[in-house]
Amino acid sequence: MASPVPGVCSSCSFLPLAPYRYYQENQMASGDFCAPGEGVEILQQVCDKQFPPCALTEEDLIQNPHFSKLLLSLSQHLDESGLSLTLAKEQAQAWNEVRLHKTAWLRYEILQRVIQELLVDYYVKAQDTNLTSEDKKFHETLEQRLLVTELTQLSSPGQEMEMPSLLGLKKADLLELMPPSQDFVWMRARLQLEVEEQLKRKCFTLLCYHDPSSDTDGETLKAAKVWRLSEVLVREKQQCLEAKGQHKEQLVLLEKRRATYFQVLLRCLTLLQRLLQEHRLKTQSELDRINAQYLEIKCSAMILKMRMEELKILSDTYSAEKVEVHRLIRDRLEGAIRLQEQDMEKSRLVLKNYEVLGEDFENLVKEYTQLKLAAENKRWALQEFSKA
């Protein structure tokens, strides 16, 4: 088969022209070239069956022109599940062996459970009704045979396992507890009938569960339906598998469409953002002006409200005479502070003029420090008075 052409199905969203022409020219030059439609069809099968959903863009393949060729090359060594052909063959053989062992185990398990159910039914019936001597003999022989067989298997491990025997018993000691041979032959013949009857009831129960309308049918018709039940179940299982495969294909298609819709949605969002920005710039200045006016009015209202609360607290706390006295004291203190600040400013100017001096400068610094402390003390007194 000729080497396929790089490209991917339209549902996978990548088939760039540049890598396609590049690979066409290389294949024509080497004499190994297939038609474009054939290459796209092959790659479409690869994407749909052998690879997970792809959301690559044309730009990705333009930067990697040999990626499509790599996908098609990998498809020749992989099966539909993504495994290599050798590993898939080994896996199929392993599954066949597992099915054979599972079938054999299920046969023994079903027989074991049916026998256990027969013994349980015997215990229940023995509590409610009087059983015949033959029934008692049958169940006692069956239970004794089953118990001795299990103990024999436990006391005789395989040669590769070095384990002490159970309770020091040997196989010969346990075989002495076997029921008589004639009782065993009689029990085995009846056991076959009992097992067949028990399995028949279970099959009828399964049939009625699968097809409730069969509950009113006769035994002959039920037996005929049970005979065909396996074929019906296999057919229904195949239908379920086909439906599951279709569901998987729909999921793949859904992922592809979701990726496409996501890209379209991103483009739409980008377009909407651009339109919003263009239209918003025209009204943004007017909106900012209105917001500024609103905030200014709101701040003025809040200041007036705070002033009203302050006056209300003062009127509730002090009388008019006390408030007037406090105002006079505050004015005097503020005037003193202003004078101190003026003196401090003068001292600072003097310090600037005498920074180069030695001891005289230090004296000026001390004087400045004293003035500063005095100003701070008066400011503190004013604050304390305001708090009071």
pLDDT of 168: 63
**What integer pLDDT is reported at residue 151 of this predicted model?**
77
**Quick one: average pLDDT of 223-238?**
87
**pLDDT of res. 192:** 86
Query: Is a pLDDT exceeding 50 seen at residue 15?
Result: no
State residue 146's pLDDT score.
Answer: 83
Mean pLDDT for 271-285 is 80
Provide the pLDDT for residue 381: 86
Q: Kindly state the percentage of the chain with pLDDT values over 90.
A: 15
Each residue's pLDDT tens digit, 173-226? 667 677 777 887 888 888 888 888 888 888 888 888 888 888 788 878 888 888
Give the separation between CA 205 and CA 212, rounded to whole angstroms.
10
Confidence category of residue 71, pLDDT binned at 50, 70, 90: confident
- Structure confidence at residue 264 (pLDDT): 92
pLDDT of residue 31: 38
Cα–Cα distance for residue pair 347/353, rounded to 1 Å: 10
Write out pLDDT tens, residues 99-155: 999 999 998 888 888 888 888 888 888 887 777 888 888 888 888 888 888 777 776
Quickly state the pLDDT bin for 252 (edges 50, 70, 90). Answer: confident
Query: Do 149 and 134 contact (CB within 8 A), yes or no?
Result: no
> 233 or 46: which carries more pLDDT confidence?
233
Question: pLDDT category, 6, cuts 50, 70, 90?
Answer: very low
Give the dihedral sign, CA 239/241/247/249: negative
User: What pLDDT shows up at residue 355?
Assistant: 66
Q: What pLDDT does residue 326 have?
A: 82
Worst-scoring range by mean pLDDT, 19-28, 68-77, 174-183, 257-266? 19-28
User: Looking at the predicted structure, is the pLDDT value of residue 276 above 50?
Assistant: yes
Q: Report the pLDDT value the prediction gives residue 154, as an integer from 0 to 100.
A: 72
CA distance 195 to 312: 102
Across the chain, what does the average pLDDT equal?
A: 77
Task: Determine the pLDDT at residue 2.
Answer: 39
- Whether the model clears a pTM of 0.85, i.e. scores above it, the answer is no
Q: What is the pLDDT of residue 157?
A: 57
The answer to whether residue 278 scores a pLDDT higher than 90 is: no
Confidence label for 172 from pLDDT (cuts 50, 70 and 90): low
In degrees to the nearest 10, what's the CA dihedral of 235, 238, 243, 245? -170
